[in-house]
Amino acid sequence: MVSMTRPKIVVLGSFNADLVMYVDRLPAPGETISGRRFATGPGGKGSNQAVAAARLDGDVTFVGRVGIDSFANIGFELWQKEGVKSDYVSRDSARATGIASIAVEESGENIIMVALGANLAVTHGDIDAAAAVIERADVLMVQLETNLDAVEYALRAAKKAGVITILNPAPAVPLPAEMLALADFLTPNQTELQTLTGNQGLSVPDAARSLISSEKQTVVVTLGAQGAAWFRRAGQGSSSAYKVNVMDAVGAGDAFNAGLAVALAEGMELPEALAFAGAAAAVSVTRPGAAASMPYRNEVDELLQRRG
């Protein structure tokens, strides 16, 4: 049954100020090219996912760490505007707010370089401060742009409280099996899946299944223009992508994960949840930016209705 109350979602993750250059094509190593335009705005996988979940009608709390600088103010202004609760975002006097340098080519493909700064200094105390909110949540969502010990600590707290956990392993690094097992839903793209499995040349199904540690765990692999595929010990399935005009793929994965979190928190079954998440990602790629491209609930609902 789908819940009629706003789903409660806690996002532990990163906030970065995005410095975005739009170019005709991505540069080759050692090459200098001219950009068509430049923009500065809010980003970071955690913050993007929190904003998207709020726009999709979630009751969202963001947990993270920023510096004491002008870039941090961009984050607080964003969260206030979007209705994301930021009571548990700490300010770090010793480290700068995270920065992402992004180049986006005309096709929508992109390259991203990140200096994570204060994101890498989240403490167990930061998470303990939000313990009551995590325990009351429907879903906890985490990524890997914060320090891994904090990510694992938050996952353990949520699992202990019976909260659904989503681990978006981006940017991907090898993770211990004990940490992967804490995720009810593991959501890599194909590149991240290879990293998690040690680049063994496995097929997507075999690689995904190698990460599953229990009957209740689900691996959802995002496949870009091919949609997404899900795998459990007891079965598998897929969800096709939506045909839209792609302007900028930055943030598509964040929109997908936020859509999945909201859908699961509302009680949707997995096929319906993946269709909802896919629609959220599809809306996001039709416009530029990271946080700015995150979809609103009415846009996702309209796309789902048009698809039928």
The beta strands (E) that lie in the chain are given as 8-12, 16-22, 37-43, 59-67, 85-92, 98-104, 110-115, 139-142, 164-167, 185-186, 218-222, 228-232, 235-239
The single residue listed with the structure tokens 């097992």 is 181
Number of other CB atoms surrounding residue 202 within 10 Å: 15
Q: Which three-class secondary structure state does DSSP give residue 183? A: coil
Instruction: Spot the catalytic one: 92, 126, 254, 301.
Output: 254
Rg (alpha carbons) of the chain, rounded to whole number = 18
Cβ neighbour number for residue 120 with a 10 Å cutoff: 17
127's tokens: 């998470």
Identify whether 254 is a catalytic site residue.
Answer: yes
Helix orientation angle between 252-265 and 270-284, rounded to the nearest 10 degrees: 150
**Strand, helix or coil at 142?**
strand
Residues annotated as part of the active site: 254
